[in-house]
Structure 1
Amino acid sequence: MVMRYSFGGDEHLFVECSEEMSLEAFFTSLSVTNGIREAKIKGVTEICPANASFQVRFDPDVIHPDDLLKEVKAVAEVAAGGEPVISTRIVEIPVFYDDPWTHETLMRFRERHQDPGSTDLEYAAQINGYSSVASFIKAHSGSPWFVSMVGFVSGLPFMYQMVERQRQIEVPKYLRPRTDTPRLTVGHGGCFGCIYSVRGAGGYQMFGITPMPIYDPTQKTGHLKDFMVFFRPGDIVKFKPVDRDGYARAVEAVDKGDFSPPIRPVKFDLREFQSDIDGYNARLEGVLDGH
C-alpha cells in the first residue's frame, strides 16, 4: 500500500493510505496513527485517523515540517512491517429496525429520495438483492461492523461491514439531504453505516434507531461518564434487533441510569479475519456471549 503525503497549510500533514475504502486501508490508518501516538513526536498536537487516510496537526515552531514528515514516514514503515493485530473492544448495540420515528421522518422527505414509492429499508433491500425487508435486516445485523472513523459531527461513527466485498451492503445517499434526522438513527450511505449522534440534517438512508446514547457532553449518562464520546476508531459493533417493547425497556434503563451495553475486550487479527471471515466473526460474537 503506497502512501501519499501532503501538507495542508502550516500546521497539518495529510496522509492518504489508499485511494479506495477497504478494511486494509482503515487498518493501516489506525495502525500508523496509533504508532504516531505511541512515538510521542515532539510538536504533534492532534492525530485524526479517517476512513482511508489520516491527518496530523503539529506546531511548526516546535518541529520543522520536513522533520515531522521524516518521523511520520519512519513510523509508517515500522507499522507496515508489523503484525496486523490491534487490541480493541466489541460492543453489542440494540436497534429497533423499521421504527415509527425514522419512518415518520423518511415519509416527510420522499421527494428527495431515489424511490419515493418505497421506504428506505424497502429500497435498500431491493437494490441489494434481498427478497424482503426482514432478510435485509438479518443481513445488516448478522455480521459485525468495524468503526473506521469518528467525526463529521461529534461522536458519529462511520462503520464498515465485516464481510466479503461482494456481500457488503451499499446504498446511495438521498438525492438531496434531509433537514431532519432523529437522534440515534442507524443510517447507511455508500458502503458505510453510521449512528447519528445528534438530531439534525442528514442524507443517509434510515434503517432504525438505537436507544443507546453515544454522545453526551454533560457526561451524565452511565457509560459516558468517563468521556462524552462513546466510539473509538477500531471498535467492533454488533447490532442486536429489538422490538418496540425491548426498545422501550432500554430507554427506561437509560433514563434510570441502569443501561450498560455489553462490551468485551478483543484482539483483532486482520490476517486471521481474511482467512476465514465468517468463522472469525462467529468467534467475535462468541466473546460477547461469554464463549
Structure 2
Amino acid sequence: MADPIRYSFGADEHLFAEVSDSMSLEAFFTGMAVTRAVERLALDGVLDVCLANASFQIRFDPDRIAPHALLEAVREAEAGAIAERTLQTRIIEIPVLYNDPWTHETLMRFRDRHQDPSATDLEYAARINNLADVEAFIAAHSGAPWFVSMVGFVAGLPFMFQMVERERQLQVPKYLRPRTDTPKLTLGHGGCFGCIYSVRGAGGYQMFGVTPAPIYDPQQKLAYLKEHMVFFRPGDIVQFKPVDREAYDRAVAEVEAGRFDLRIRPVEFSLDAFLADPVGYPKSLQEVLA
C-alpha cells in the first residue's frame, strides 16, 4: 500500500502535497487522481491546482477558505480518490533537427560551464550512456515515446521522461553552471528528464537539437494552439521524429505562414499495460501515428 501523501503549507496561500520521494508513473497517476478529485469539489477559495512529477500544489484565498478546512477537504478527497490506471490522452509527433547549428553555437560559448569542454553536449551524452556515437544516442532518444509529467519553469515548458525500462533511461547531468542563453525551442535533457525550452532564456539542461514547432504562443496563431496558448499538458505522450535541415526549414516557413500543424492522435494510455510490457506497449502507441 502506498504511503499517505505528505502535506505542508507554503506561506499563507499555498498547500503543497508530496506524493512520493521519487518520480514514477504510479506517483503521477496518484497525484492526478487526487487533483482531479479536488477540482471536482469546486471549493470556494481554491484558485489553482497544479500537478507536478510526484507532487501537487494548491493556491487558495485564505479569506475565503481556512487553510485547515482546505487541508481536511483535500485529505478526504485523497481517501476517496482511486488512482486511475488508464488515461485518455494524445500522442504527438514532434519534429526535431538534432545536432543543429544554433544550439551548437550556443553550447560552444558555454564550454567553461560544462563537464567536458572538449565535447559537444550530444557527444558527452552518448559517451556517458555507453552508446557508440552521436547517431546511436539520437536513435535511442527518438526510439521510444516520452511521457509529459508536468509543465512549468517557464511558460509552456514540458518536463518528460522516456517510456523505457529503468536501465535504459538516458541520464545526463545538467551543466555545472547554468547558461545565460538557450535558443527557443531547444530540446534539453537533465538527469533522466527531457524538455523543450518554449522561449529563449537561461538554462542548465544539455542541448540536443531544436524543433520548428511552437509550443507556447500568446497570440495563438497556429491551429493546434487555438484552444490554449500553452500546448502541452500533463499526460501527453510525445514521439520525437528526427528531420534534416531541409525539412526543418520547410516547417519553419510553414510556421511563419500560419500553415504548420502537428501530427496529433487520441490514444488511451494504460499504466498496467506499460508496466507489464515496457518494450512492446510503447511500440503499440507509436503505431497510432503510422
Q: When the two structures are superposed, what TM-score results if normalisation uses the length of structure 1?
A: 0.96
Partner deviation per Cα, 1:16-65 (whole Å, 9 max, x = no partner): 00111222222222222122222322321100111111001112222222
Q: Distance in 1 between matches of 2:88 and 2:194?
A: 22
Unaligned runs of 5+ in 2: none
AA paired with 2:48?
E
SS at match of 1:277: coil
SS at 1:194's partner residue? strand
Structure 1 segment 154-165 matched on structure 2, within 5 A: 154-165=155-166
In the alignment, does 2:52 pair up with 1:57? Answer: no
- Aligned twin of 1:263: 264
- 1:33 alignment partner, one of 27, 35, 57: 35
The answer on whether the counterparts of 2:165 and 2:279 sit within 8 Å (CA) in structure 1 is: no
On the 8 A contact 2:30/2:83 being kept in 1, the answer is no
Q: Secondary structure at the match of 1:36?
A: helix
Equivalent AA in structure 1 for residue 235 of structure 2:
G
For the Cα contact (< 8 Å) 2:222–2:259, is it kept in 1? no
Distance 2:131 2:80 in 1: 43
8 Å contact kept, 1:151–1:157? yes
CA 1:147/1:82 → structure 2, altered by over 3 Å: closer, same or farther? closer
Q: CA deviation at 1:82?
A: 4.1
On the 8 A contact 2:170/2:192 being kept in 1, the answer is: yes
SS at 1:62's partner residue? coil
Matches of 2:182 and 2:108 in 1, distance apart?
A: 12
Does structure 2 conserve the Cα–Cα contact (< 8 Å) formed by 1:23 and 1:160?
no
Matches of 1:242 and 1:76, distance apart in 2: 44
Aligned pairs for 1:158-237 within 5 A: 158-237=159-238
Is structure 2 residue 85 aligned with structure 1 residue 84?
A: yes
Counterpart residue number, 1:74: 76
Structure 1 unaligned regions, length at least 5: none
SS at 2:153 equivalent: coil
Residue 142 (structure 2) aligns with: 141
Q: CA deviation at 1:223?
A: 2.0
Task: Give CA-to-partner distance per residue, 1:82-117, whole Å, 9 cap, x none.
Answer: 431121111000000001111111111111100000
Residue 105 (structure 2) aligns with: 104
Distance (Å, rounded) in 2 between the aligned partners of 1:266 and 1:32? 22
Query: Please, what TM-score do these two structures have when normalized by structure 2?
Result: 0.96
3-state SS in 1 of match to 2:209: strand
Q: Which residue of 1 aligns with 2:22?
A: 20
C-alpha distance in 2 between matches for 1:203 and 1:223: 29
Distance in 2, Cα, partners of 1:13 & 1:194: 26
CA contact (8 A) 2:13 2:62 kept: yes
Amino acid at match of 2:278: I
CA RMSD of aligned residues (A): 1.2
CA shift for structure 1 position 140: 0.4
What do the CA deviations read for 1:185-243 (whole angstroms, capped 9, x no partner)?
Answer: 00001111000000111110000000000011122233212211100011110100001
- Tell me which amino acid in the other structure corresponds to 2:212: P
Q: Please give the alpha-carbon distance, in whole angstroms, between the structure 1 residues aligned to 2:176 and 2:223.
A: 38
Q: Deviations over 1:140-175 (max 9, x none)?
A: 001111111101100100011111111111100011
> Is contact 2:159–2:195 with CA below 8 Å preserved after alignment?
yes
* Preserved CA contact (<8 Å) 2:187 2:207: yes
User: By how many angstroms is 1:8 displaced?
Assistant: 1.2
**Contact 1:30/1:234 (8 A) holds in 2:** no
Moved over 3 A (4+): none
* CA contact 1:89–1:266 (8 Å) conserved in 2: yes
Equivalenced residue count is 288
